[in-house]
Every structure is written in structure tokens, then in C-alpha cells.
Amino acid sequence: METVAHIPKYGLNEEQEKKLILREYRSLLRSLKTKLKPGDRKLIRNAFEIAVEAHKTMRRKSGEPYILHPLAVAKICIEEIGLGVRSTICALMHDTVEDTDITLEDVEKEFGNEIGRIVGGLTKISNVVDVNASKQAENFKKILLTLTDDPRVILIKLADRLHNMRTLDSMKREKQLRVSSETVYVYAPLAHRMGLYSIKTEMEDLAMKYMEPDTYRQIARKLAETKRERSKFINEFVKPLKDKLVKNGFDFEMHGRPKSIHSIWNKMKKKAVDFEEVYDLFAIRVILNSTPEKEKEDCWKVYSLITDEYTPSPERLRDWLSNPKSNGYEALHTTVMGPQGRWVEVQIRSKRMNEIAEKGLAAHWKYKDGGNDESRFEKWFHQIREVLTSQDTDSVDFLQDFKLSFLAEEIYVYTPNGDVKMLPTGSTALDFAFSVHSAIGVQCIGAKVNHKLVPISHKLRSGDQVEIITSSKQKPNEDWLNFVVTAKARNKIKDALKDEKRKIAEDGKYALQKKLENMGAAFSQHNIEELVGWFKLNSPLDLFYQIAVKNIDLKEIKELKVHGDKIEIPKPVKALEIKTDSGIPSKKDAELIIFGESSDKIVYNLANCCKPIPGDDVFGFVTTGKGLTIHRTNCPNAAKLMANYGHRVVKTKWAKNKEISFLTGLKIIGMDDVGVVNKITTIISGDLRINISALTIESKEGIFEGHIRLFVHDKEELDELVIRLKSLNGIQTVDRFDTDAS
């Protein structure tokens, strides 16, 4: 729930604001009531007063007093994550060190080392040394380092991010896009990993609201329209189950809840279906009141009763009772065939499991008994710690690796002795080898999975038993990086390759030194850096290596001028021009109005990954050497670009211009009927006068699939065409595809 009362930009007077702040503070104390010990109230009051004083002159973008934000974050920590008094104090103080005169020493003096450490972990890095490093990734790395000492840092950070997402309306469009992308790219998967499912879902939905507003509104509208019919169906489905459970003496709650807009949209994309065809728009949840020693048995009994009533789908049974996820999630999921021939997902869990599913990590401590789950979280932290301490890759790589290694769902794989290893989904035999030991990874030449010989790139599945085969002659090569997903494997391979590269580079270094001395130039840092820049390489090591493997000819260096003992690099001359990727000459200079520094004449091109056309929601991305690249906001690469390089995102808008055409593509699927091609081309060329660039149609067993590449002026024209094509008899789907994918 939204926790801040919204104030119009110039709304309340000082007196009313004071009342509002006090009201929010009292509400915070009420939430904490059950957790307060003697002396706690005084500490919280102290933190509140320090924060009010520190932020007193500050306002949020919406015009409301800034202190409402820390108050709201603290409330989310208590009510939605289940944290206690210490975390409340940290949440109240979380922005003071960064934005006000208060220092970390002040916080420590006032509240002790533990709270000082957490607040320190929440304080962003203000001056990242490396210009190219993404500030976001650096901050993220810092948060993670503190996370491994105290997970509360990340939980408070998630509460902070959730409140920012809930109040994103008053921000500028590009800020909305950047914050939403970051959220979907890093924070939602992290919330999921921490077991905070409802927070993860809300974050994804809110991000989608800003990144794909039209689709979001459309699905929300359809969900509202079908609500009555859904409730009727749920009641009909649940009635016989409730009767059975009551008859068998279970103490339980049972309710249906709609799936999130984001997950419905994902299903529509994945399965290429319309909203009407997404069957599991909701899930039924059964929560049992069982004692810890009986809860597993009770869940299976309830499963048995449900599947007596409705037929289950055998491949959709998920048993997280015997093998909980590493974030502690335990439940039994099954999908059954309900009335009216509709599939329904049913989730069965005990009250304790439900609390862990809602509150994740925080609930863990409540049930802490040194059990198996605790060690799972510990293992996860240990893996992160290991990777962070051996980190020397650049931040963006790090963020990408982190996402793949630690935010993915995991599989369980067994060693030959039957020990369990947890690995992210998509891991290969080589990842497993490195997880056993770096020395085994480096020498891995193959594996036996369930006693069958497989290559090192073989993808593992949960339950596989893996034995690694090694050879002392084996050496890692660049290809290995293409099929490992764990950060540990990637780092160790990179280290091994670097060592190898260093050995080879020694020859190049020696050759370059001789060449420079012959030319009368010094073998100095200045000259080496000039050459690195001239050949557009990343480091001196790359330069020496490229010379050693003969990719760089020393003759090119010989032609450079030497002044004193310094090399002079000729400066490149750049002409400003406007070009489009479609290969069609532009007739006007203003296909795009670009709001940026100098919007008169800007080099830009349209991204190949998503082929934007006028009318699409777009953003500009500044690429080194290439000027501006225009991407659609729902481009597959958008989240990564905006999350990692928010500072390079430029707000862009299309100018109306009917003189230029843009290449785009449509994929059509339908019944293979006589004359269908004729009908399609009549609409495109005859009725709408759109130029077709290429058309392929393949027919198979009565179904045809057509790919059409065509030139349109803007999105309106494309939308009109899609509506016309969909209205043809026998046409099942018409989807836009990115022309490169053909």
C-alpha cells in the first residue's frame, strides 16, 4: 500500500504539514507495537527527531516534506518485510549521511556500530573513480559487500526502492525510465532471491506501468472487466475442495488471487497468445494451520484430496517441500483441470511457509533453529562473498555476472559421493567443475552425467549426478566464457586467460620497445597510452598482445611522427551527418526531435536490435564514436542499458514527418486457405499503399506462417495495418518482429 499521503505541489501550510508528519510517525510506532522493548521508543524518537531536523529544508519532487520518505521506508520495513526496531532506526536515518550534514561518525556515536555499519552500507558512493564505470553498478557492488555482513542492508534498500517506485509519478520521464529499468534489472530479481514475492511482483508491475504504459493499462482494464466472471469461477472451483478439507478435519484458509500484470504480460509474450487465451490468470492458495512436525504430511494429504477432485497435469507438479529453494521458499504447486476445461494453479503451504513466502529472509530469523534452510542462505552469502573479494572486472560485467549467477532460480546437482551442489539454472558441466574447485575447473576436459560421457558445455538439470574428468594438459580458452554462467567460473577462466595472455604479450612488449627506440621515441607510459587510444584498445596488455599475435603491424607505428621523444597521433576529423539504418536517404533533417544539448544536427542511428519507427516509445542512448542510437523502451536490451548507463540516456521524441519510410516486419500466422496471400497483399499494397520489401510464406499441415518486411511511415500506419490484417478470416495472430530476426 502507498504509505505517503500525497500533497499537491503547493498544498499544505506549515501547521498542517507538521500534523501530517506526526500522524505518519504515530502510525509507524503502532506498526512496531508488538516488537518494542523497554527503551526502544526513546531510541526511535531520537532517530526520528535527528532525521526531521536534518531533512527539514528538503522537499521531494512532488512538493511534500522529505521526511515522509524515510518514514514510509521504515513502515515498509516493518509491515511488509517484517523487520524490527534496529532496521526502523536505519530506515529513518538512511538518507541523512548522503544528503545532509550528518556524518557516519555521528550515527555511530548516537546509535552504536551495528546501526552505523548498516547506514554506511546504504549510503551511496558519491565519487566513483573510474569514469567509465557505471555508478549504479558500483553502488550495487558496495551494497552487496555490506549485505554479506548484514542482510538488513539489502532489505532496507529494497524498501527504499519500493517506495521510490510507488512515488515515481512526479519524476521526469527519463528518470522514470531509468529507475524502472534498474528496478526490473536488479532490484526485483533481488527481492525474489530474498524471498519477498509480493514486493518483487509490485516492483515489476510498477516498472511496467512506466516502461510500457499502454500494454499495462490494457491488461489492467481487461483484468477489471473479467473480475466478476473470475470470482464466480473461483467460487465454483473452491466449493467442493473446501467441503473435502473441512470433512477431513483441516484448519485452513483458501483464497484465489489474480496473477500480476507483469507475469500475465510475460505469459502472453512467451506463448504468443492474447489476453483471452492466458488461462491461469489467477492461482488458488491453500494455507494450513499445522504444527511444524506435521506440516509436510498435511500438505501432501491436501494435495491428494485436491487431485481426487480435479485431474492434475503431471509435468506441472513443483515440490519445494522436499527441496526448498535457496531463498527458503517451501510449498507444493500443482496445476489441475477445473470446471469449463480451464487449468488452475493451486499452491499448498503451511502458515509458517506462507510467512516465509511473504516476508522472505526476515521471517527466516524468526524461525531460526540452525535448520537446513539457514545454511542455504549462508551458502548463498558465502558464494557472493567469494566472488566479491576476487573481483577485478569492470562493474557492468560484474552486474551482468551477478544477475546470471545469483539472481537466477537454481538447480540441485549431486557429486559422485551424493553431496548436493546448488547452481543457477543454465549451468554447465564446466560450472560444476569450478564449483567443486578452481584447479578442477581449469583442467576439466569432459564429464560423466548420470554415468554418460558429455562435453564440458553440457547443460545440467536438477537431480543430475556429475563426475568431472580432468587432464593436466588442458588449458582454458576464450570459448569457455560463452557457456559458463556462474561468476566464480567466469572469473577463474578470465584469470587463467589473462595469465596466458601476459606470457604471450611479453614478446609484443619487447618488439614494441625495439621499434620505438629505433624511431627515436621513448618506451614511456605516455607513448604507450597514446598508441592504446589510437588502436582503440582497452589496455597496454591488449596492445602488446595484439602486436605479439601479429594483429597489429609495427609498420603502422613507424609512419607516426615523433616530436622530441613523444609520438604525435593524428587527430581524427569527424563530419556530422544524419543517417538512418533503413538505407533510405533522408529528405529532411528532423526525423527525430532530440531534446539534449544541441538538437540542431545530431548523428544518430536506429538500433538494429529493436528497429524503432516513428510513434514508438523511444529513448536515445549515447554511444562512443557513434553518436546517438535510438531504442524502443520495450527493446530487449533497454533494461540493461538504462540500468547500467542511466547517465547516457537522452529523452527523445519523434517529429511528425510523412516523407520518410522505416523498415519493419510483421509475422502472420493463420489457416492456409486459397487466396490468403492475395488478400494480405491487397490490404498492404492496394488499400494502404504500403511498400513491401520482402515476403515469405511457409505452409505446413494446413497452417501458414508469413514474414513480411515493409516500409511504413509511423506506428499509426503499422497499427492500422495490423487491425486490418487481423480482421481477415482465418488469420490467427499478427505480431511485429524486429527485422533482423528474420
Can you give the length of the chain in residues? 742
Across 203-212, average pLDDT: 92
Q: Would you state the cell numbers that stand for residue 471, as one nine-digit string?
A: 587432464
Residue pointed to by grid coordinates 559421493? 417
Helix H or strand E segment including 111: helix 104-111
pLDDT given at position 202: 93
pLDDT-based confidence at 411, cuts 50/70/90? confident
C-alpha cell recorded at residue 700: 505446413
Query: Which residue bears the cell 489492467?
Result: 220
Distance CA 362, CA 565 (A): 64
Q: Is 695 exposed, middle or buried (0-12, 13-18, 19+ CB in 10 A)?
A: middle
pLDDT of residue 122: 79
What's the first-to-final CA gap in the chain, in angstroms? 44
- The larger pLDDT score, comparing residue 434 to residue 559, is at 434
pLDDT at 561 > cutoff 70: yes
Cα 638 to Cα 418: distance, rounded to the nearest angstrom: 42
Q: Where are the alpha helices (DSSP H) in 520-601?
A: 525-534, 540-548, 554-558
CATH class of 408-485: alpha beta
Query: What is the tens place of the pLDDT at every residue in 709-718?
Result: 888 888 888 8
Check residue 501 and give its pLDDT: 84
What pLDDT was estimated at residue 258? 80
**Which pLDDT value is given to residue 517?**
81
3-state secondary structure 18-32: HHHHHHHHHHHHHHH
Which is more confidently placed, 445 or 373?
A: 445
**Residue 257 is which amino acid?**
R
pLDDT at 612 over 50: yes
Q: Given the residues 17, 40, 99, 174, select the one marked as catalytic.
A: 99
pLDDT at 270: 78
In the predicted structure, residue 204 carries a pLDDT above the cut 90: yes
How far apart, in Å, are the Cα atoms of 40 and each of 36, 47, 78, 85, 107?
Answer: 6, 11, 14, 7, 16
With contact defined as beta carbons under 8 Å apart, do 288 and 231 qualify? no
User: Active-site residue 277, yes or no?
Assistant: no
What pLDDT sits at residue 207?
A: 93
Cα gap 21→68, rounded to integer Å = 7
Is the separation of the CB atoms in 347 and 358 below 8 Å?
no
Set of cell numbers at residue 149: 555482513
Q: How many angstroms separate the CA atoms of 706 and 510, rounded?
A: 59
Quick: pLDDT tens for 104-147: 888 889 888 888 888 887 776 444 434 444 556 666 666 666 55
pLDDT at 597: 43
State mean pLDDT over 410-421.
81
CATH number of 220-366: 3.30.460.10
For the record, the C-alpha cell of 447 comes out as 564429464
Measure the CA–CA gap between 89 and 309, rounded to whole angstroms: 51
Letter for the amino acid at 222? K
534-567 burial string, b = 16+ CB within 10 Å, else e? beebeebbbbbbbbbeeebebeebeebeeeeeeb
**Is 99 annotated in the active site?**
yes
Neighbours of 114 (CB within 10 A): 15
Mean pLDDT in residue range 499-514: 86
Confidence of residue 7 (pLDDT cuts 50, 70, 90): very low
Q: Is the pLDDT of residue 156 over 50?
A: yes
Residue ranges of domains in the chain: 14-170, 220-366, 408-485, 495-568, 592-654, 662-741
Secondary structure of residue 313 in the 3-state scheme: coil
Whole-angstrom distance, CA of residue 441 vs CA of residue 448: 14
* pLDDT of 611: 82
CA–CA separation, 512 and 521 (whole Å)? 11
- Could you write out the DSSP letters of every residue in 510-540? HHHHHHHHHHT----HHHHHHHHHHTT-S-H
Q: What is the pLDDT of residue 248?
A: 92
Structure pTM? 0.67
Residues with Cβ within 8 Å of 242's Cβ and at least 6 positions away in sequence, in order, are 254
Q: What is the DSSP letter of 260?
A: P
Average pLDDT on 515-541 reads 81
Average pLDDT over residues 375-388: 63
Angle at CA 391, nearest 5°, toward 390 and 397? 145
Where does the pLDDT of residue 566 fall: very low under 50, low under 70, confident under 90, or very high at 90 and above? confident
Between 198 and 741, name the one with better pLDDT.
198
Helix (H) or strand (E) holding 685: none
Could you report the per-residue pLDDT of 627-644, keeping only the tens digit for each? 778 888 888 787 777 777
Architecture of domain 14-170: Orthogonal Bundle (1.10)
Residue 170 has pLDDT above 90, yes or no: no
Phi, psi of 485 (to 5 degrees): -115, -20
Please compute the mean of the pLDDT values over residues 312-339 and round it to a whole number: 84
Percent pLDDT > 70 in the chain is: 81
The pLDDT of residue 76 is 92
Are 14-170 and 662-741 equal in CATH topology? no
CA torsion 184→182→409→265, rounded to 10°? 10
The pLDDT value recorded for residue 558 is 72
- The mean of the pLDDT values for the chain is 80
Is the domain covering 662-741 a CATH 3.40.50.720 domain?
A: no
CA–CA dist 590, 608 (Å, integer): 20
- To the nearest 10°, report the CA torsion of 93, 95, 97, 102: -60
| DSSP string over 438-471 | HHHHHTEEEEEETTEEE-TTPBP-TT-BEEEEE-
C-alpha 32 chain-centroid distance: 32
In whole angstroms, what is the distance from residue 406 CA to residue 192 CA? 11
Beta bridge partners of 392: none
Quote the pLDDT of residue 599: 43
pLDDT at position 205: 93
Torsion angle of C-alpha atoms 309, 315, 321, 323, degrees rounded to 10? 170
Kindly report the CA angle at 78 between 18 and 369, in degrees rounded to 5?
160
For residue 652, CA distances in Å to 489, 637, 661 come to 40, 17, 19
Give which of 573, 133, 97, 677 is closest to 392, Cα–Cα.
133
Task: Give residue for cell 528538503.
Answer: 58
| Mean pLDDT confidence for 182-199 | 83
Lowest mean pLDDT among 156-160, 261-265, 404-408, 443-447: 404-408
pLDDT band per the 50, 70, 90 thresholds, residue 576: very low
Distance, CA of 386 to CA of 144 (rounded, Å): 12
Q: In the predicted model, is pLDDT for residue 26 greater than 70?
A: yes
Joined together, the cell numbers standing for residue 53 give 531536523
Choosing from 53, 98, 297, 556, the catalytic residue is 98
Q: What cell numbers appear for 492 in the block?
A: 577463474
Separation CA 63–CA 583 (nearest Å): 48
**488, 332, 329, 326: which is closest to 422 by C-alpha?**
326
